[in-house]
Amino acid sequence: MKLEKNIALRTLTTMRAGGPARFFAVAENDAEIGEAVSFAEAEGVSLFVLGEGSNILISDNGIPGLVLKLGTNKISFEDYEKGQTLLVAEGGAHWDTLVEEAVLKNLSGIENLSLIPGTAGAAPVQNIGAYGRELADTLLWVEVFDRDRKKHKRLGKKECGLSYRESIFKKKEGASLVITRIALLLHPGGEPQTSYKDVRDYFETRHISAPTLADTRRAVVDIRTRKLPDLAKVGTAGSFFKNPIVTKKQHEALNTTYPGLPGFVVAKGSIKIPLAWILDHVCGLRGYREGTVGTYESQPLAIVNYGGATAKDIRAFADKIARIVEEKTGILPEREVLLVGDWAA
């Protein structure tokens, strides 16, 4: 395992902001993951596993510990019971490569998660989701290295505690677990999920009545490309906030004040509200900009670094947006993007 010091992290995150890592290494196999854990313990520093840096904001002070990237990227497909197929991917595998290969093999289950940036190992942490699907729909198990017990173990989906953008890996009880592999249960020749409005409208306008899995992937890629910032041009971590989930009574009250407010029923009769709609129609914040930071003109839920913004700038801007939403609706948006590193002072 090659160890480096004071490595700039802004170039390793999609937000293009943040300070350096005190130590940095890439683990090419399970043994090197163990080496990294031992090194961090010997130095008395924290260990942070970095995927593709697509859902985090690193402090300008950086990370005063060891930042570890997984260089493991193998993907395999195995026959499973009842004619299903198991996709097994190592933690460092590029997520969209998984989706592309699954669709090429006519395996359904993750086509709606096309073009989501990140790695396979990071996917369960956020329980990634889009366009009517989420990882929990297909995840069978994850393999992890338990840093406390110094051993590998397998967790079933239930043990991962997956919910809307949540998992055990974001909580204290999962803080010591490094995800090394994931297994997804896919369905040969299965029907694509096209009920989500954006996807449904895409096919209706093109008069495609029986879309294939490849059609669905193409639709999602086109929609995401049109709505979200180009990472080659600006910095962004995608959706900065979660969509709020409120009671039916709260939604009815808000809809009285703001007619046309969309709402989607989720578990236990709660209603999920598209925060982008509130940012646009209630707060007038679509395309709002302060200096080098702003909300994206095609998707106000995405906060954009137009170049040169510090992590402090971005956080302050996001906090201001959240306060405006709270003043207008009584809802304080919860960040989806994780704040990482030393935020003191």
Q: Per-residue pLDDT tens for 188-207?
A: 999 999 999 999 999 999 99
User: Do residues 41 and 95 share a domain?
Assistant: no
Least confident of 57-71, 135-149, 331-345: 331-345
Give the containing element (helix H, strand E) for 34: helix 30-43
Say yes or no to pLDDT of 305 above 70: yes
For residues 291 and 318, state if they share a domain: yes
Mean pLDDT of 57-84: 96
Judge if 88 and 66 occupy the same domain.
Answer: no
Do 37 and 87 lie in one domain? The reply is no
Q: Which residues are known to be catalytic?
A: 165, 239, 336
**Range 130-156 average pLDDT:** 96
Give mean pLDDT, residues 81-87: 95
pTM of the model as a whole: 0.92
Are 38 and 136 contained in the same domain?
no
Confidence band, pLDDT 50/70/90 cuts, at residue 148: very high
* Averaged pLDDT score across all residues of the chain: 96
* 249 located within any domain: yes
The CA distance from 258 to 21, in Å, is 45
The C-alpha angle 66, 63, 290, rounded to 5 degrees, equals 150
Does residue 164 share a domain with residue 83? Answer: yes
Q: Is residue 35 part of a domain?
A: yes
What is the average pLDDT across 65-94?
A: 97
Q: Are residues 268 and 331 in the same domain?
A: yes
Does residue 205 belong to any structural domain of this protein? no
Length of the chain: 345
Q: Report if residue 210 sits inside a domain.
A: no
Provide the 10 A C-beta neighbour count for residue 226: 11
Residue 204 CB-density burial (10 A; 0-12 exposed, 13-18 middle, 19+ buried): exposed
Q: What percent of the chain has pLDDT over 70?
A: 100
Q: How many domains does the chain contain in total?
A: 3
Specify the CATH number for the domain of residue 25: 3.30.43.10
Task: Write down the residue that tokens 């294939």 correspond to.
Answer: 212
Report the C-alpha dihedral over residues 162, 163, 165, 166, rounded to 10 degrees. Answer: -60
List the CATH number of the domain containing 335.
3.90.78.10
In this prediction, residue 232 carries a pLDDT of 87
**Which residue segment(s) compose the domain that 252 sits in?**
235-340
Confidence of residue 266 (pLDDT cuts 50, 70, 90): confident
Q: Which residue has the higher pLDDT, 269 or 94?
A: 94
- pLDDT, mean of residues 4-20: 96
Question: How far is Cα 156 from Cα 304, in angstroms, rounded to an integer?
Answer: 36
- Asked whether the predicted pLDDT for residue 87 surpasses 90, the reply is yes
Q: How confident is the model at residue 269 (pLDDT cuts 50, 70, 90)?
A: confident
pLDDT of residue 1: 87
pLDDT at 345 (0 to 100): 61
Q: Is residue 223 part of a domain?
A: no
Residues 123-146 have a mean pLDDT of: 96
Residue 267 clears pLDDT 80, i.e. is over it? no
Judge whether 91 lies within some domain.
yes
Whether residue 279 contacts residue 321, with contact meaning beta carbons closer than 8 Å, is answered with yes
What pairing do the DSSP bridges indicate for beta strands 338-340 and 56-58? Answer: parallel
Nearest partner of 297 among 309, 315, 284, 307, judged by Cα: 284
CA atoms within 13 A on the CB side of 20: 8
What gap in Å lies between CA 62 and CA 339, rounded to an integer?
A: 11
